[in-house]
Amino acid sequence: MSLLQIARVALDVPLRRFFDYRAPDGERLSTADIGYRVRVPFGQQQKVGILVALPADSTFPLAQLKPVDAVLRELPPLPTDWFGLTEFCADYYHVPLGQVMLSSLPAVLRAITPPKARAIRHLPSSAVAQQVPALTREQEASLAAIADAGSGFRVYLLHGVTGSGKTEIYLRLIERALAAGRQSLLLVPEINLTPQLEARVAARFPAAGLVSLHSELGEAARGRNWRAALTGDARIVLGTRLAIFTPLPELGLIVVDEEHDVSFKQQDGIRYSARDLAVFRARQRAIPIVLGSATPSLESWANATASAGRGRYRLLTLNERAVEGARLPLVKCIDTRLDKLQDGLSGALLAAIEQRLARAEQSLLFLNRRGYAPVLACAACGWASHCHRCAANLVLHLSDRCLRCHHCGFETRVPKACPSCGNQDLSAFGRGTQRLEAVLCEHFPQARVLRVDRDSASSRTQWEALVERIHAGEADILVGTQMLAKGHDFPKLTLVGAIAPDAALFAADWRAPERLFAQLMQVAGRAGRAERPGEMLIQTQFPEHPLYAALVRHDFQAFAASQLEERQQAGFPPYAYQAMLRAEAPRMADALRFLTSARASPPNEADPSVILYDAVPMRLSRRASLERGQLLVESPSRRALQRFLAGWVPQLEAIRSPSRLRWHLEVDPMEF
C-alpha cells in the first residue's frame, strides 16, 4: 500500500466528477478533515475547493497528482447533512455536484485570499422587546396541532387569509425551537419582504442571534452571517432562496413564507426550487416544516387535501383576520363593456378614488407592467419599437426618455421621428405604470401620486424609502406592480384597483390563471383594517369568469379545486412530472437541430411512460441575439422521469454542436 495519501476535492467546474490531489506536503489528513475548504492548483491558477473524501486509490497515476496547497481550517468543516443536501440537489436537478457545493458558499469563502476574521454582528442587538399579541382560536388550534404531532418530520401547509396572523404562528414556533436549543430557518421569496420581517423577529427575540442572508448583502456581511450559522452563533436565519443551503448544525425548524411564490425557483444557473429543497432538508433532519400562504401553490394544495388523493401534508387553516373586527375586503368586478374606460380607468374606479381622497385614505392601483407604454409605433408606415436583439418590443420609459428592453436590458433614446419613414407623429400604445401615474396626476391634480415598481425602487434602500413615505402618509394614490402586492401593511390603504388583468385569463402558459389569482388575492389583502373597511375593484371584460367569481367570494378552495380538476384532465402537474431541455444559438436551425438530436438519443431501455415532445421555438424565441428552442419531457411517474434524465444527460453531453450553442435542462419548469 502506498504511503502517499489521496485527497479528493470538489471544484466549481462544469464537470460531473471530483478531482484527486496528494495531501499537503508534510501533512497527514484524517476523516475529521473532510468538509474543510482547501486551496489547490488547477491548470495555471489556484482554486478553492472542498475536501470530500480520502480514497485509498485513484484512477489517475499517483505520480501525476499535485499536492493540495493548504487546508483552510479557520471555520468548522461543512457538516454531513450539508453534503447530503447538495448531493440531492445535484442528483435531482442533474447538475455537477462541485458546482452546487461551491456556488452555495459566500464569495468570500471561495476567494483564494481568505478575508480577515471579524466579529459577528447580529441584527439588531438593541431591539426593543415586542408585546406578544393574544392568539385567535384558529391560531391556537394550529399551534396545538403542531405540538400534538410531536417531534420528527412533518410538512404543515398553513393556509391563512391575508392578515390572519401566519407570521405570529411562525414566531411562536421559533420561540419553541429556541427554548429547545435549536436553530430556525425562515425563508421568504424576495429581499423586499425581509426588512419588515427582520424587524419583527428581532423585536420578539432581541437576545437571540438573528442574521439575514440575501443577495443585496455585501459579500463580507454575507460571509459573516453564514459563518455565524455554521458555528451555531446565529439561532435564527432569515433569507431568500439561496439561504436553503446554509449549514445549520442544530436546525430544528424550517418555515417557508409565501411558499407559492415563483421567486423560490432559481431561473438561471442551477435551477433549483428552494421550497422543494426545504421539504427534503426537513425530512433529512427529521424536523417540522411549515409552508405558509394565502394562496398555496396547487402542488402543495394537492399534497394537503384528501380530495386530491394525496394528503401528504397536514393542512392548517386560518379563515379569519387576526385583529378583532377586521374583515376581508369587499371585491367587486367592474364590467368595462358597460363602464367605458377613460385613459384606462373606469368611472366607478375614478369615483372610488375620489371618495378615498375626500376621507384622507390611500388608494392603490395595481398594474403589473412597468414603463410608460409597451410599444412606440408609427401609424403612417407600421414601424414599431422592436428590440433588435430579442423577439420583443422596446418599452417606452418616458421619464428616462428612452426605449428599453425588459428582457435583455438594451436601451436607446426615443426617436424624434419614425426611423423608417420620418413621420414625427409617433404614438405610444398600451399603458404601463408610468403612463398610469401621468393619467392619475391629470385626473387628480391635488393628489400626491407615488409609483412603486422596479424602476423607482431598484435597490433595497430606495424601496425602504418609498415604504416610509407611504407609512408617513406622504402619498394619496399608489401605482404599483407586484412589488406592492406582498406582505405589506399600510394602515390608511382602503382601496385597490386592478388594471388590465384579463390577459392572464387566456395566456398560453397554463400556470397563468394560478399566478393571476394569487396576485389579485394578495393585492386585495393590502386593503382595509378593522377601523377602515377595504374594497377591491377589478376592471374586466369578463366579470362572470370563474376566477373572478372565486375572488369575489375569497374562495381559494373552489378555485384550487377547479384548477386541479382541469390539470388532472389535461395531464398537467401535479398529475405529471416534467423537465424542459432548452438550447440557444445564434441560429434557430442550430438550436432546433441540437434538440432534435437529443430527442433521437434516449438512453437504453427508456421507460415507455416517458414522453418526448417535438422541439419547438420558445415563446420568446430570441433574447440577447440568441435564438431559443425547447423540448418538453413528461411522465406520470417522477421516478421514471428521474431514471430517464439520469441516463439521458450523458447522451446530451456527447452530442456535437456548434461552439456558441448553449443548453440546459430544467426539472419541474415553471416557465413555458
Instruction: Give me the DSSP letters along 537-569.
Output: EEEES-TT-HHHHHHHTT-HHHHHHHHHHHHHH
pLDDT digits (tens, 9 = 90+) for 587-642: 999 999 999 999 999 888 878 999 999 999 999 999 999 999 999 999 999 999 99
Helix (H, G, I), strand (E, B) or coil at 254: strand
Q: Span 157-169, mean pLDDT?
A: 94
For 618, the grid coordinates are: 420558445
Residue 364 has pLDDT above 60, yes or no: yes
Write out pLDDT tens, residues 368-401: 888 888 899 999 999 999 999 999 999 999 888 8
> What integer is the mean pLDDT of 52-75?
94
pLDDT of residue 1: 42
Rounded to an integer, what distance in angstroms lies between the CA atom of residue 24 and that of residue 618? 50
% of the chain exceeding 90 in pLDDT: 78
- Would you state the pLDDT for residue 324? 76
pLDDT of residue 128: 56
| More confident call, 1 vs 3 | 3
pLDDT score recorded for residue 125 = 44
At 142 the pLDDT is: 96
Residue tagged 484527486 (cell numbers)? 20
pLDDT digits (tens, 9 = 90+) for 194-252: 778 888 999 999 999 999 998 888 899 999 999 999 999 999 999 999 999 999 999 99
Percent of the chain with pLDDT over 70: 96
Q: Are 370 and 402 in contact (CB under 8 A)?
A: no
Query: How far apart, in whole angstroms, are the C-alpha atoms of residue 487 and residue 191?
Result: 12
Q: Where are the alpha helices (DSSP H) in 305-458?
A: 347-358, 433-443
Tell me the whole-structure pTM to 2 decimals.
0.93
pLDDT per residue over 439-489, tens digit each? Answer: 999 999 999 999 988 888 777 788 888 888 998 999 999 998 888 777 677
Give the pLDDT band (50/70/90) at residue 116: low
Taking alpha carbons only, the member of 475, 485, 193 closest to residue 367 is 485
Phi, psi angle pair for 529, to nearest 5°: -140, -170
Distances 523 to 513, 540, 600, 602 between C-alpha atoms, Å? 15, 16, 46, 45
Give whichever of 95-109, 305-319, 430-444, 456-470 has the largest mean pLDDT: 95-109
What is the rounded distance in angstroms from the CA atom of residue 412 to the CA atom of residue 487? 36
What's residue 193's pLDDT?
Answer: 72
- pLDDT tens profile 272-295: 999 999 999 999 999 999 999 999
> Rounded to 10 degrees, what is the CA torsion of 479, 481, 482, 483?
-80
pLDDT tens for each residue of 120-162: 444 454 445 578 999 999 999 999 999 988 789 999 999 999 8
State in Å, rounded, how far the first CA of the chain is from the last one: 55
Q: What angle do CA 420, 423, 426 make, to 5 degrees?
A: 95
Give residues with Cβ within 8 angstroms of 154, minimum separation 6. Answer: 146, 288, 289, 314
User: Residue 4: pLDDT above 60?
Assistant: yes
What pLDDT, on a 0 to 100 scale, did the predictor assign at position 123? 47
What average pLDDT does the structure give for the chain? Answer: 92
How far is Cα 350 from Cα 207, in angstroms, rounded to an integer? Answer: 49
Rounded to whole angstroms, how far apart are CA atoms 616 and 632?
9
The amino acid that residue 141 corresponds to is A
Q: Is the pLDDT of residue 431 over 90?
A: no
